[in-house]
Structure 1
């Protein structure tokens, strides 16, 4: 049949792993082997990247990493800081990889094992669908892309196009991090370390890019993007407080769609995950994109029930309000100490 092995940090099978991921219809950017190095070097989250072999050929993969915190608990996740995960391969191989993951979780003594599947699975794991992912096929040109956006959202973009806002493709992440960290502070959310961006750009040099909107030379909105096969994924994005007035966030995402189609030959725009009934969920619905429920799955190991780390959890509301009042310099200093456990 097949055997299950663990990918080492420096492993000759990494290229084979990545090719397998790219060949799977449900393979995603977040299944790539490079996340192993990113998670370890950014946060020291111990990876357990499992693969199944048959006749010495990879027939299934499951990226996993430990997230251990005295405050937020201990979990084995596929995959931290990623919106998609879970096992890839034929159904029987996925079930075997899931069982191997559970056995690792039991050996480690984690609270639970979490697999972030996009599609529903035929297994006995607990399924929690609290998020949806959004996306659309990219039309042939800028005008057609704009015409495909819902009327009200399209009007905001047209207004922004008539201003002196300019867009720029960048690799330097300094402006992006300043904007993004301020956006998260304003939301009451700790920001991760800038080292994560550095590691992502190092590990995925040909697949990462930053698009920034500037107003009178000053960066006002910026988004950090991934490219995978024929898809573009605007993954981390934010804007200055003035962005709402300038409509610069709206312009930013539209210009990314146009750039990805025109300059990168992308055919699909993955607008990412949002919690159901959240502000981000409503914003993406206004673009007219199709939403699909995500099927995150869990196995309890030491925990008696699933934890709720959502910002909608009432017990975190006081913390969120306090965080929103922090000086930016303090939030940037303290944020990475907490955010590394919130991926």
Structure 2
């Protein structure tokens, strides 16, 4: 019989005090088959005595929302963590898209030693699948040791199978070393260190892009504006840009949820020419990294003024001024136009190590993406829709496109 966790968490060090058992703080949030997992080891990896076991037992389970702050403290302490590992991201996707949280937390000796953010996302034709982390580009297990990461994934697979979920998707930035999972090399990411001085930022761009940046500033008089008041402009231009690419945008409820949960962890910038709005971007801030994640551009803004290149350079300069050490330009599909564009900005592609756990006969790696030729007609049709129709339909479709 399961006992309820009646521990309290101290305010420092991420310690779970006086833990009586391995159960979650909120048993009602546990999915079917969601028994706590235990793996006790003494020193040297051997099974220890009862006193050793109490000190070193690895316990994997769900924790209630009241422990989100402690989890986030752990995430921020890990150099390999991302903003998508924070509980604020999980809360935002649950608030906007109804994707229930299935997060797992590993504790050892009363301390958090690993987390695996997971959300249960709806399928358009019924059923669910679990993703770490949906509507984000990074995710997967985050732990003190590789064996803890493997245990987190193993428990997730057990619970998913018990819940009738056929697929788990782990959006790992680095190789998780989980050879038994199905790998995908569809995406790569683009990151580079920032220089110490703001005036050196533009030297990191290739010569042709440096020339375009000089023209943007000196000939076209482009300038940068900053502030959260730019959000409506971002929503509008992002939807328009996605329509041009033949893809749905994001509904207003997503931007609302993002602002409510993570509003202090991003900054908005706009590129303007006089009073004309050319582009707006949203840059996430986490640890020492700044990540330009969303951008919307006005029609002809790039062809005439190279607005995106100007905004990338401006955001990089802003990041240097504010002490950030690395700039992330986000993921793109290999061999896509976006991939080529990012290389032309002086970024080198790094492979993303997405992994899939398939537990049912009909489950497979997702194939509904723009690189699939079968989506070409849908994309052409979408790009011809009026913007109001794209907005209305995006609100419905976004739930199924995590």
Q: TM-score, normalised by structure 2?
A: 0.82
Match of 1:169 among 210, 213, 226: 226
CA offset digits 1:90-146 (Å, max 9, x no partner): 111111110111112112222311101111122211111111111111112332111
Q: Is the CA contact 1:73–1:111 (under 8 Å) kept in the aligned structure 2?
A: no
CA offset digits 1:304-324 (Å, max 9, x no partner): 432302112122111101000
Alignment match, 1:20: 74
Q: Which deviates more from structure 2 when the two are superposed, residues 132-141 or residues 228-237?
A: 132-141
Alignment match, 2:115: 61
Q: Is the CA contact 1:72–1:341 (under 8 Å) kept in the aligned structure 2?
A: no
Runs (5+) with no aligned partner, structure 1: none
Asked whether 1:298 is paired with 2:356, we answer yes
Alignment match, 1:257: 316
- Where does 1:238-257 land on structure 2 (aligned, <5 Å)? 238-244=296-302, 245-257=304-316
Taking the aligned partners of 2:166 and 2:100, their CA distance within structure 1 comes to 16
Larger radius of gyration: 2
Taking the aligned partners of 1:45 and 1:251, their CA distance within structure 2 comes to 36
Post-superposition offset of 1:214: 1.6
Post-superposition offset of 1:247: 1.3
Match of 2:173 among 115, 118, 124: 118
Alignment match, 2:249: 191
Taking the aligned partners of 1:258 and 1:305, their CA distance within structure 2 comes to 42
Alignment match, 2:23: none
Q: Secondary structure at the match of 1:329?
A: helix
Q: Which deviates more from structure 2 when the two are superposed, residues 293-302 or residues 213-222?
A: 213-222
Alignment match, 1:37: 91
Taking the aligned partners of 2:265 and 2:107, their CA distance within structure 1 comes to 28
Taking the aligned partners of 1:195 and 1:153, their CA distance within structure 2 comes to 36
Taking the aligned partners of 1:112 and 1:261, their CA distance within structure 2 comes to 40
Alignment match, 2:14: none
Asked whether 1:204 is paired with 2:262, we answer yes
Q: Secondary structure at the match of 1:113?
A: strand
Alignment match, 2:42: none
Taking the aligned partners of 1:69 and 1:122, their CA distance within structure 2 comes to 28
Alignment match, 2:295: 237
The verdict on how the C-alpha distance between 1:73 and 1:187 changes in structure 2, with shifts beyond 3 A counting, is: farther
Runs (5+) with no aligned partner, structure 2: 1-56
Q: Is the CA contact 1:62–1:78 (under 8 Å) kept in the aligned structure 2?
A: yes
Alignment match, 2:53: none
Q: Secondary structure at the match of 1:318?
A: helix
Match of 1:325 among 372, 375, 384: 384
Taking the aligned partners of 1:69 and 1:112, their CA distance within structure 2 comes to 11
- Where does 1:138-157 land on structure 2 (aligned, <5 Å)? 138-157=194-213
Taking the aligned partners of 1:241 and 1:206, their CA distance within structure 2 comes to 30
Taking the aligned partners of 1:201 and 1:194, their CA distance within structure 2 comes to 11
Asked whether 1:282 is paired with 2:336, we answer no
Q: Which deviates more from structure 2 when the two are superposed, residues 133-142 or residues 229-238?
A: 133-142
Alignment match, 1:225: 283
Post-superposition offset of 1:215: 2.3
Alignment match, 1:312: 371
Q: Secondary structure at the match of 2:101?
A: coil
Taking the aligned partners of 2:221 and 2:344, their CA distance within structure 1 comes to 24
Q: TM-score, normalised by structure 1?
A: 0.96
Match of 1:83 among 137, 146, 162: 137
